[in-house]
Amino acid sequence: MNAIFTTPPRPFDITALFPQLAPLARTATRLHPRPGAPTVHDSSVGGPLLWPADEPWPHCDEPHDSRASPVVHSPDDVRLLRRDRAAAAERRRLDPEAPQWTPEERATWERLADRPWFDGPIPLLPVAQLYARDVPFPCPPDADLLQVLWCPFDHEMAHPRTALFWRSSATVTEVLDAPPEPPIVQRDCYLPEPCLFSPEQVTEFPHPGEMSKELLDQLDDMSRWETIDPARYNTYADDPGELYQNNLSTAPGWKTGGWSSWPRTDPKPRPCPECGTEQVPLLTIASWEWDGGSGTWIAEEERTNPTPPPLGAQDGNFTLIDIIGGYDLQLHVCPASPDHPHIELLP
């Protein structure tokens, strides 16, 4: 596992203002991925998987649209480009007058721009591996390991299609050493940078759209908020509704469990395709650990000793995953049976 990260206390105890919220509290586990060198025995993003040597590696057999990305790269191309970008960023940091790109770097990029399209089954990429000993998550009774892979191409929606694999780690006696990689990926931000997790449990509350009318009316009642000095909550938001949604309800970033987040859309039903049971949050694959509206969720340790972003990336994006410009991909599973088909949401 990685270093310890601690979410600051919420700006206010929301249950003191609205006691009816207390029974709706759910525990979420913030994962706080940070660059590292995971092994098959670690919970990780983009690391090697504890995959049985005698089990076929999964592929995506569906067609992929060559028109959606005129320039494609192999995973090794992406890693080389990232190293070049990091070297360029460091060069400019040390000498602002240094050239932005060297002739060698430009030649590399021109060479890699000629990567041909590939038609055929695409090996899936490891996205996340979660051991139950590290991270609590809903899983079948005979499993203690969740492995999430995806096809690094857009499908019906503008995001990769995921596949979930549950297994008992004790049954894996011989591990696949060199799983196949896709010959090309549609976007370099679909190749996760290897990271280790630092799990931390926090309390979440539902989006207003998932509340009863009675409770929603209470949240809209300004007289209840008047018990708090407006100067205090104005520090965090322009109005109580924004304060609640950004700072008091759901945590940003990679996490398991908790409540579904709805930053851009209204909540929608999540019936299980197999049995109709309402599905619950399993894993949020986040583009950012925080953004401009969720600064109160930045870990205490990041405030005093910020983690350098990998390879010249922007603050808060440690995995280098970016789904259509900063969205999260939320995976939901059926509480009746995690083996039922899961749901992907891009709220």
Amino acid at 344: E
Count CB neighbours of 96 within 10 A.
7
Would you place residue 243 in the very low, low, confident or very high pLDDT band (cuts 50, 70, 90)?
A: confident
| pLDDT, tens only, 162-198 | 999 999 999 999 999 999 999 999 989 999 999 999 9
Would you place residue 2 in the very low, low, confident or very high pLDDT band (cuts 50, 70, 90)?
A: low
| pLDDT, tens only, 123-141 | 999 999 999 999 988 888 8
* pLDDT exceeds 70 at position 232: no
**pLDDT at res. 233:** 67
60/153 Cα distance (integer angstroms): 10
More confident residue, 58 or 347: 58
Side by side, which strands form the sheet with 44-45? 34-35, 195-196, 44-45, 125-131, 145-154, 160-167
Helix, strand, or coil (residue 16): helix
**pLDDT at res. 88:** 87
124/151 Cα distance (integer angstroms): 5
* pLDDT exceeds 90 at position 226: no
44/31 Cα distance (integer angstroms): 9
Average pLDDT, the chain: 91
Burial code (b: 16+ CB inside 10 Å, e: under 16) for 171-187 equals ebeeebeebebbbbbbb
* pLDDT exceeds 80 at position 253: yes
- Ranges of beta strands (E only) in 15-103 are 26-30, 34-35, 44-45, 59-60
| pLDDT, tens only, 189-222 | 999 999 999 999 999 999 999 999 999 888 888 8
Would you place residue 332 in the very low, low, confident or very high pLDDT band (cuts 50, 70, 90)?
A: very high
CA dihedral sign of residues 124, 279, 159, 326: negative
79/191 Cα distance (integer angstroms): 9
| pLDDT, tens only, 29-46 | 999 999 999 999 999 999
Would you place residue 111 in the very low, low, confident or very high pLDDT band (cuts 50, 70, 90)?
A: confident
More confident residue, 78 or 230: 78
**pLDDT at res. 292:** 74
* pLDDT exceeds 60 at position 77: yes
Helix, strand, or coil (residue 90): helix
252/293 Cα distance (integer angstroms): 10
**pLDDT at res. 311:** 66
Tokens 């709220």: give the residue.
347
| pLDDT, tens only, 257-313 | 999 999 888 899 999 999 999 999 999 999 999 877 788 999 999 999 888 877 656
* pLDDT exceeds 70 at position 1: no
Strand partners, 256: 29, 283
